[in-house]
Chain A
Amino acid sequence: MATKSGNATALTVLSPIKNGAIGETSFADITRERCMRLPIHEQSPLTKVPNTYLARLFILDDVFYESLPANDSIFNFSDITSIFFDSARKKALPRKDHLKSKYLVFSSNFHGDLDAYLTGMWEKWSYIDNKGVQRDVRHIWEHCVAFDKVTDCAGFIAYIKKCQFEASLFFNGSTDDSLQEQLKALYLKQEFTQFAMEHQGKSAVEIQQDFKAFIARVQPENLIAPTWPPGKSTP
């Protein structure tokens, strides 16, 4: 189950990438390049996945070795045992860990139900890649382990659920409204600020009249339009 904070949901997915290559380019590097070359802002495929607030993709190549200074304020038994056995000192050094596969990491913050969101990913994720070809979500997950067995939406949902993690803490520093609500609200904030500024010092009659026209134009309760499109990056 993905983690929720009110109606905001945190989806964390780690999908193992197949070891191996096409020619001399590993599956991981192919996947990485496809992610890095995804178009951004208004052209990102995530604009089409409904209710996505903020989301990211990256490749986890390996875990890091903690070659950092020891912390002198936590007591370790090895502080005592190393006096007697040098092997104790060596054992107290951080261990080297390595991952045997690389992972495609997808982390999304969105509004609403997980299944609906994953359905949106399968059905709506769409963009034009840097070679001009139309692509869907499979282009990113193509080289993940066992993804070739995913042929339909139900299969995709099941696949992602096998790869996902609960969050121990999901901190919501924003709102948990639907994306449409958020975008509409941002549009209204922009428009009403402008209105308030332009009508400073005007008469009651004029403000009231203009306000009614303003409401008719911006339609506060109409979430479809007019509003900000997802990923809008310029004024």
Chain B
Amino acid sequence: MTKDLDLTDIQGNIIKAYGAYNYQKARYLFLRINNGDKGRKFVAAITTKVTTGVSWNKSGAGPAVEKPMATTNIAFTYVGLKALELPTASLRGFPEDFMMGMAKRKDILGDDGPSDPENWDNIWKERVHIWMSINAQNTEALIERYNWVVQQVEASGGGVTLLTGHRGDAGEDDLPYQEASVLYDEAGNPTPKEHFGYTDGIGDPVFEGQTNLSARVPGRGKLMRDGSWAPLATGEFLLGHVDEAMEYPKTAPSPTLLSRNGTYMVYRKLHENVGTFNHFLDEQSKSFPGSKEMLAAKFAGRWRDNGAPIVKAPDDASKAEWDKAFEAADFAEQKRMLTDFTYNDDIHGAKCPYSAHLRRINPRGSLEYGVTGAYETPGALDDRRRILRRGLPYGSVKDATRDDGNHGIIFMALNVDIQRQFEFVQQQWINYANDFKEGNDKEVLLGNHDARHPGKVVLQVEPGSGKPPHFINNIPRLVETRGGDYFFIPSITALKLIAAGMVDPT
């Protein structure tokens, strides 16, 4: 049934969210290929240091590899693969969304107004061919690996250019890399937070072939009729494997060796309007019957301080209870408290509103609306809309009353079908709400709220309680897109084939 994954063939960033492994720092590099032959040699050089998905320092089965101080991964845009002179027959097999690139899909994604590509960092006006990531446990390791990459660029003799044009902390707009880092608390300890104060990075999908499934799958796999959780099909996240529709993903180009064990990555730089968010939260909490933190939790679906799911801790009193239990729990139990839940006891959204970020991006079984047996499984409409989330915050907030600082999130979504998975969630569940019976009401935090025609959401309450629902109106745009594109993350085998110029779909 389940087959172990070929971890040596899969790039590490697909298998691991490096941030959870103490890789606190990152740099994202973007390059242009000027010459196919030299570009391929560059890829060959980089491939010698590309991090695979093997486990680190594992005793027992499988190859044990020393955990590196820095990781490196690489991916390509469609035009990048063209520049590397992949054959036309292979190129034609890539999906339309990847071929167009993210900027041309702005109407689907809702990247309008301040998020329009014309407002993106300068780098996105270049032809971006290659994406590279360096994740490091400390700054020294980061710089060392970065310098090594720069050396490879120089060794290419003009064959490859490291593009500049990223905005930085001091107001620069021409940096040669995008920096990212975990946020630190006052004591200098790394935290899993982002700039609005929310705890991020909880709950990644779990799929067949991963290790330690039974411990990780509750709340993160697919919900079955009997209330248990099962791992999602591998083919939702890796090309060349059977997916939830019982077939091999059709977004895989030919030949098989090019696509197998690869996937697609959506890279988005999301600027956070910290000042507007803080002001908005303050203003709205004045009329909200509950604490400010409870309101913040209603927006996200999780409490800011420790990520408690609001469906399990719907108000201040129950949150205090939840906190006590959380404190007393061991590590495994804590993880379970954070991820193992459904909305089955909250069909009306009185605990976790239908507009909450968490419920919109992953409604779990709640699209069945409590009509048991309406669908094959309660999660049938949700299982194929999952994405692997990677990324880190960037920048820092110097003045929490302002928007114009350098602060946001580098967000990456990994999936086999950009249009069916990431774009669908973005367009139909974040920027629209018919599936949630909320018409055009956008998700509070990520929705592309229109300043000229501001929208609203309804925070539902217990039916029959005689209490009115609470309206949150005039929602400002809290997050703006500052850049990004669609990339193909090849397997190690595919990387070597690409580098050797040996991709041949005949």
Contact = CB atoms under 8 A, between A and B. Distances in A.
- Which of B468, B470, B471 neighbours the largest number of chain A CB atoms within 10 Å of its CB? B471
Contacts of A200: 287, 468, 470-471
Contacts of B456: 197
B467 interface: no
B453 A197 contact: no
Nearest to B453: A235
B444 to A, nearest CB: 15
B473 interface: yes
- In the A-B complex, the 8 residue pairs with the smallest Cβ-Cβ separation, listed nearest first, are A197-B471, A201-B287, A200-B471, A197-B473, A197-B456, A200-B287, A196-B471, A200-B470
B32 to A, nearest CB: 43
* Secondary structure of the B contact surface, majority rule: loop
Given A197-B473, A200-B471, A235-B453, 8 more contacts: A196-B468, A196-B471, A197-B456, A197-B471, A200-B287, A200-B468, A200-B470, A201-B287
Contacts of A197: 456, 471, 473
A200 B471 CA distance: 7
11 contacts: A196-B468, A196-B471, A197-B456, A197-B471, A197-B473, A200-B287, A200-B468, A200-B470, A200-B471, A201-B287, A235-B453
A205 to B, nearest CB: 17
A196 B453 CA distance: 17
A214 B468 CA distance: 19
A188 to B, nearest CB: 14
B67 to A, nearest CB: 49
Interface string A179-221: 0000000000000000011001100000000000000000000
Interface of B: 287, 453, 456, 468, 470-471, 473
Classify chain A's interface size.
Answer: under 10
A200 B287 CA distance: 9
Contacts of A235: 453
B280 to A, nearest CB: 16
A197 B454 CA distance: 13
A73 to B, nearest CB: 14
Contacts of B468: 196, 200
A200 B468 CA distance: 9
Contacts of B453: 235
A201 B472 CA distance: 12
Nearest to B469: A196
B453 to A, nearest CB: 7
B393 to A, nearest CB: 33
B467 to A, nearest CB: 12
A207 to B, nearest CB: 11
A194 to B, nearest CB: 9
Contacts of B471: 196-197, 200
Nearest to B474: A197
B374 to A, nearest CB: 13
Nearest to A196: B471
B442 to A, nearest CB: 15
B412 to A, nearest CB: 35
Contacts of B287: 200-201
Interface string A51-89: 000000000000000000000000000000000000000
Nearest to B456: A197
Nearest to A189: B439
B232 to A, nearest CB: 26
Nearest to A190: B439
B30 to A, nearest CB: 40
A35 B456 CA distance: 39
Nearest to B286: A201
Interface string A129-173: 000000000000000000000000000000000000000000000
B450 to A, nearest CB: 11
Nearest to B471: A197
A235 B468 CA distance: 26
A89 to B, nearest CB: 27
Nearest to B289: A201
B307 to A, nearest CB: 29
Contacts of B473: 197
